Structure 1
Amino acid sequence: MQPAKLSALAVMLACSAAMAAPARTVSPTRPTPTDVLAPDAEGRWVPFDLTPGNQIRFTLDVDGVAVTAILDTGVSFSVLSRAFVDARRLKVRSGGTASAVGGSVPIGWIDTKTIRLGGLTRQGGSIGVTALPATATGSARPIEMLVGRDLTEGYALDVDYAARRFRLIASGRMPFTGAIAPLTVSRDRLVYSGEIVLNGRRLRPLIVDTGDGNAVTLSAESWATARLIPPARTTTISFGLGGAIVTDLVVLDEMTTGSLTARNVELQIEPAGGFSQRMGMAGRIGSGFLQRYRVLLDPKAGRMVLQPGPDADAPPVKSTSGVLVAAEKDRLRVLHVMRGSPAERAGWQSGETICMIDGTPIPADYPGSALSGWSIGATGRVVAFDMCDGTRRTLALRPFY
């Protein structure tokens, strides 16, 4: 994650949501929908903000209703939230289950009339339905839709992270220059697929996943193939549609994809038998990495274009506390205590709640407040806590990975 995202870091440092959910379901039963890309599509930018979980959140139109969505190229078929569908009493057909980070989730289908996204209009077709919990975005409010591969793969997806906007344009267009890496759509998993090189070893396929707020994630098998020994290693937690998973976390000096050499890259390592391995994938490239660049994803043309931003190679902001928390109204709940951290050595436990930091109550706008920077504070700083169980404790901050 970038240093500018202190509010998100304080909530879920290095553990933003992983929402890749390649569907293992029957495909929609409706005939192929009709897509029309407007002649002026290049001027139809879609504004977005980044969720605390580091995903692209925006609004689109579904059957005349404004819907809050996440742009998620790691999802095979776009899905609406079960809560959104139930509130409108829409009829849902059964659709089996889909594989997601953290486990499997039930899927249904509904028919749609019109979907409008930037310069794209889709008539007819079907869309998936599943539960979309707020925890999967790191936000207090849930989103209503995941816009997946099925809506975007026929076009070039231009994501301008710096300007917080994206657009769909004709495949083959290249509106800016940058490093080029291979990109396809995996025909067995129906997700965007790329590759990386670590220590001279090519690892593929990796899901190129705008819905995963982490930087890069590898399966345990792929990590073993790379034969890298990092200087330090800790743990973190991620939240997907199927629940939470704990992974190892390292910072890579260097990683290559296509003609791009990236530096100071956060990388998570899944446990053996984890999501990526079950999907037959080497891992995922997420928004935590992509947001350092202006990105063009054009699988039809076989390429991903990455134009570095000013902080593309900047070292990631690291926790000096080892406490990963979520804001809950007037308190913070400890989600995970990172291995080898000051918090672990001091005996902190997941599930504990914090009501005051350095004598200041937890504000309602905690993620955006100055108070939220304590967990990445300067080495040697001692932070005082009033825990919600009435006890008090202190924690001395220091680097540990």
Structure 2
Amino acid sequence: MDVRAPMILLAALLGLAAPVDRVTAAPAVMHLATDSEARWVSFELTSGNQIRFRTMLNGRWVDALLDTGVTDSAVTTRFARAAGLKPLVAGRADAIGGSVALSWTGIDRVEVGGLVRTGGRIAIIDADPRVTGSAPVDLFVGSDLLAGHALEIDYDAQRFRLLPSGRLPFRGVTLPLRLAERSGLYVSELDLGRGNLRPVIVDTGDGGMVSLTRSVWRASAPGSVRTTTAIAWGLGGTVENEIAVLPTLRIGGLAAEVELRVEADTGFSARKGAAGRIGGGLLRRHRVLLDPRARRMVLASGARADWPVTRSTSGLMVAQETDRLRVLHVMRGSPAAAAGWRAGTLICAIDGLPTADAPRDWATGTPGRHVRLKLCDGTERTLTLANFY
């Protein structure tokens, strides 16, 4: 998995394609400040490679995600209750992991960097906090706010800004980018083997690197690629995919080793008529400009461009729960699967250390290493790490 803190091996997926509903609200008015180029917004990356920042909504500070995989910006039911936002129209939206219930309401004012929108509607969703790991958010900023402007993301400096469409603040590899006609999602393309794959959703809220539908993967997969399984969370629930590591995948003129997810042909990408998705796990290796109105995405290699993909050598996907780890998934064909590990098992110590103090690379360590895992029932098991995909 392409994460710098790989002990917790899970990545979040978002994705929300909301239907069009009419809500009684003041008309939406957008205003981009004349000094927007100077209004950088600092952010932190979540454990799932998502852009988390603080902004203002209706005069309240709110923790937000910058998420081009969301067509209509949304707040959580928790924030709506606290802010006195009343649900006006009920509906459902298509999301990664399945359908999700939502309601619509009107808002007074939302700010993102140099952009201010007054009036308009926003969705209210009951978001599973696991989609953002240990850092819950209450606002998902989607393409309805972002797509009319150029969005520059400087992952190395952990900041972003909104610019007038057409600006080109840096040079790099240019790819086509547009808004999909039906879904309103950002879409581009990539190359796998000899084939050009398009459309591919560009989703800053997806923590993975690249996802492809199963039929596209089968038609374009290089030979002798081993796969395993992994799980993640979308706004619509838990998703289990096959994963593989590709030594080279090209996006424009750039090539990189990537972790690839293979999702079902009934999954979110296929339902949106796309071949797959480019997520934050790949985007974070670059300086990024997303400008669908100018029909271009620009990528320049960043400090992380040559980072190798971090692979699990244990096969245990775990989450920290206070002073213990819970096994969430046992990856197919892994040492853990061969040793009979099961989801739900609780681990209280690693090589004699409390889980919070153990080295964070224990699950992705050198093949052949023996890791002692003490379960919370008092038993101890030894797991021998190995390459398995």
Q: TM-score range by the shorter chain?
A: over 0.9
- Asked if the contact 1:20/1:100 (under 8 Å) is kept, the reply is yes
CA displacement 1:14-67 (0-9 Å, x = unmatched): x41110112234265546411111111001000000111110000110011001
1:308 aligns with 2:306: no
Aligned to 1:382: 370
1:324 aligns with 2:317: yes
Give the CA deviation at 1:207.
1.1
Q: Distance in 2 between matches of 1:388 and 1:25?
A: 49
Give the CA deviation at 1:81.
0.5
- Asked if the contact 2:25/2:105 (under 8 Å) is kept, the reply is no
Aligned to 1:19: 14
* SS in structure 2 of the partner of residue 334 of structure 1: strand
Of 314-323 and 174-183, more deviation after overlay is shown by 314-323
Aligned to 1:201: 195
Q: Which of residues 346, 354, 357 in structure 2 aligns to 1:361? A: 354
**In 2 relative to 1, CA 227–53 (structure 1 residues): closer, same or farther, beyond 3 Å?**
closer
Q: Distance in 1 between matches of 2:149 and 2:20?
A: 24
Give the CA deviation at 1:330.
1.3
Structure 2: state its 5+ residue gaps: none
- Asked if the contact 2:284/2:304 (under 8 Å) is kept, the reply is no
1:338 aligns with 2:326: no
CA displacement 1:152-183 (0-9 Å, x = unmatched): 00111000000000000111111111001110
Aligned to 1:366: none
List aligned pairs for 1:249-288, cutoff 5 A: 249-257=243-251, 259-288=252-281
Aligned to 1:102: 97
> What is the TM-score with the length of structure 2 in the denominator?
0.96
Give the CA deviation at 1:90.
2.2
* SS in structure 2 of the partner of residue 223 of structure 1: helix
Counterpart of 2:314, as a letter, is S
> What is the TM-score with the length of structure 1 in the denominator?
0.93
Q: Distance in 2 between matches of 1:305 and 1:144?
A: 29
Q: Distance in 2 between matches of 1:117 and 1:44?
A: 9
- Asked if the contact 2:351/2:358 (under 8 Å) is kept, the reply is no
- Asked if the contact 1:6/1:373 (under 8 Å) is kept, the reply is no
**In 2 relative to 1, CA 222–30 (structure 1 residues): closer, same or farther, beyond 3 Å?**
farther
List aligned pairs for 1:141-290, cutoff 5 A: 141-257=135-251, 259-290=252-283
Aligned to 2:114: 119
Dislocated runs of 4+, deviation >3 Å: 27-32
**Identity across matched positions, percent:** 46
Aligned to 1:398: 386
**In 2 relative to 1, CA 308–273 (structure 1 residues): closer, same or farther, beyond 3 Å?**
same
* SS in structure 1 of the partner of residue 130 of structure 2: helix
CA displacement 1:111-152 (0-9 Å, x = unmatched): 11111111111111111110122210122x421010000000
Q: Distance in 1 between matches of 2:314 and 2:53?
A: 33
Counterpart of 2:74, as a letter, is V
Of 86-95 and 175-184, more deviation after overlay is shown by 86-95
Q: How many residues align?
A: 389
- Asked if the contact 1:96/1:106 (under 8 Å) is kept, the reply is yes
Of 73-82 and 110-119, more deviation after overlay is shown by 110-119
Q: Which of residues 360, 378, 388 in structure 2 aligns to 1:372? A: 360
Q: Distance in 1 between matches of 2:90 and 2:184?
A: 17
Q: Distance in 2 between matches of 1:196 and 1:160?
A: 21
Structure 1: state its 5+ residue gaps: 364-368
CA displacement 1:171-223 (0-9 Å, x = unmatched): 11111110011100112001111111212222221110000000000111221
Counterpart of 1:155, as a letter, is H
Q: Distance in 1 between matches of 2:194 and 2:369?
A: 40
Give the CA deviation at 1:325.
0.5
- Asked if the contact 1:230/1:250 (under 8 Å) is kept, the reply is no
- Asked if the contact 2:329/2:343 (under 8 Å) is kept, the reply is yes
CA displacement 1:305-355 (0-9 Å, x = unmatched): 000113313320111111110111111111111111111111111111111
